[in-house]
Structure 1
Amino acid sequence: MSSALKVVALVGSPTSSATSRTLLLVRYLLASLQERVHASVERVELAPIARSLGQSLSRGEVEPAVEQALRTIETAELLVVAAPVHRGSYPGLFKHLVDFIELEALVDTPVLLAATGGSERHALVIDHQLRPLFSFLQAHTLPIGVYATPADFDGEHITSVALQARIALATERAAGHLATQSLAVAAPLRRIA
């Protein structure tokens, strides 16, 4: 049996809640992904490190818990990123954490993007906010993103058949990408000035 793929899920909600739709969406994405690929999963949640992160102006100032979160993200073989929409974009502390990621740490790392928002009017946050952010880091943003609204949930369950199908499609395509990627012969990376 081959070694497990290191999947890291970044839950970009700065507030902690057992009923967080963003966290619930991540759980469903990870469960669906684990049905398709042999993976070890680690979750990095923004909420427990939010206060100490907010007090740091540079990576050299971060507390050990934040540094550990960053290292976990930087060593992912597949990154699942989910963020709630806050005033039309991802939360500021989420961006602050991403700003501390080493510039070349995510080069060619596949990233499955997801978001939760109050209504469908924020659905483009994936393509207009999250995708450019991770493209700047030269990550490979997977083409199928997953967006959810409160109407898709009933307590601790996703009840929307359309959202369940979207999750299945996104993770199926992610697994297909990973299979194709493992067959490719890697060329040496050239440094871009």
Structure 2
Amino acid sequence: MKVLGISGSVKRPSRTAHIVERIVTAIGRAADVEADHIDLADAAPVLFRALRADKLDEAGRAIVDAVEAADVLVVGSPVYRASYTGALKHLFDLVDFRALQGRRVILAATGGTPLHGLMLEHQFRPLFGFFGAVTVPTTVYAVEADFTEYTLSNPAVEARIERAVAELFDLLPATALATGETHPALRVVSRETAAN
């Protein structure tokens, strides 16, 4: 199973990138996965060389291909002007609208106040609804106080990560029925989750 973490932050160091990495790591503890990461601090300049998918160069095409080929996406963004970043939007503008149908997605964000967390429901989730992706119910949101420097240190946010990952595996049966595919490692984890 291919898991791809995408950080929509365009600066480094990044609390958003750290949250995305923590979620991908938690998925890796629960199943045998092939994990990769796209950091828009690096990828955005490559992607902005093209305004349309048919104008992507080889490096840009490789980034978009990685998104389209992933079985699971973990997508995070800092809240910027009441939404996700423009760099992240541009990436998904380049993704084929049919490519993410039925794919599972965990959503994450970082922001300045707890109220900024509403972006996840009002901006982020509808984006993946357009693609026909299956977003897990629990989102992961953190503010600056949840970190020690750039490392997550709030157990409540850690608990949300674990809950989101558990829901990811709980969603597998419905997704597998829709796509006809079931990964063996996920079948095992899904049964264990159901038994608990």
SS of the equivalent of 1:184 reads helix
Which position in structure 1 is the counterpart of 2:183? none
Distance 1:158 1:58 in 2: 36
Which position in structure 2 is the counterpart of 1:147? 141
Structure-2 change in CA distance of 1:119 and 1:7 (3 Å): same
With 51-60 and 168-177 compared, the bigger mean Cα shift is at: 51-60
Which position in structure 2 is the counterpart of 1:51? 45
- The count of corresponding residues between Structure 1 and Structure 2 is 180
Which position in structure 2 is the counterpart of 1:191? none
Q: CA RMSD in A?
A: 1.6
Distance 2:168 2:136 in 1: 7
Residue type at the aligned position of 2:98: E
Structure 1 length-normalised TM: 0.87
Which position in structure 2 is the counterpart of 1:131? 125
Q: Does 1:106 align with 2:100?
A: yes
Write the deviation string for residues 34-69 of structure 1: whole angstroms up to 9, x where unpaired. Answer: 111211101111121212322322112223222111
- 2:102 and 2:178 in contact (8 A); partners too: no
Which position in structure 1 is the counterpart of 2:7? 11
Distance 1:185 1:169 in 2: 23
Residue type at the aligned position of 1:79: L
Q: Does 1:171 align with 2:188?
A: no
With 53-62 and 142-151 compared, the bigger mean Cα shift is at: 53-62
Distance 1:140 1:184 in 2: 13
Residue type at the aligned position of 2:60: V
Write the deviation string for residues 128-161 of structure 1: whole angstroms up to 9, x where unpaired. Answer: 1110001001111111111111011002421111
SS of the equivalent of 1:57 reads coil
Structure holding more helix per residue: 2
- 2:102 and 2:175 in contact (8 A); partners too: no
Q: Does 1:38 align with 2:15?
A: no
Task: Note the 1:24-103 alignment, pairs <5 A.
Answer: 24-103=18-97
- 1:79 and 1:110 in contact (8 A); partners too: yes
Structure-2 change in CA distance of 1:90 and 1:185 (3 Å): closer
SS of the equivalent of 1:81 reads strand
Structure-2 change in CA distance of 1:57 and 1:186 (3 Å): closer
Ranges in structure 2 where 5+ consecutive residues have no aligned partner: 181-196
Ranges in structure 1 where 5+ consecutive residues have no aligned partner: 188-193
Residue type at the aligned position of 1:105: A
SS of the equivalent of 1:104 reads coil
Structure-2 change in CA distance of 1:105 and 1:182 (3 Å): closer
Distance 2:162 2:101 in 1: 26
Shift of 1:184: 3.1
Shift of 1:176: 2.3
Query: Identity over the aligned pairs, expressed in percent?
Result: 34
Distance 1:82 1:28 in 2: 11
Q: Does 1:184 align with 2:177?
A: yes
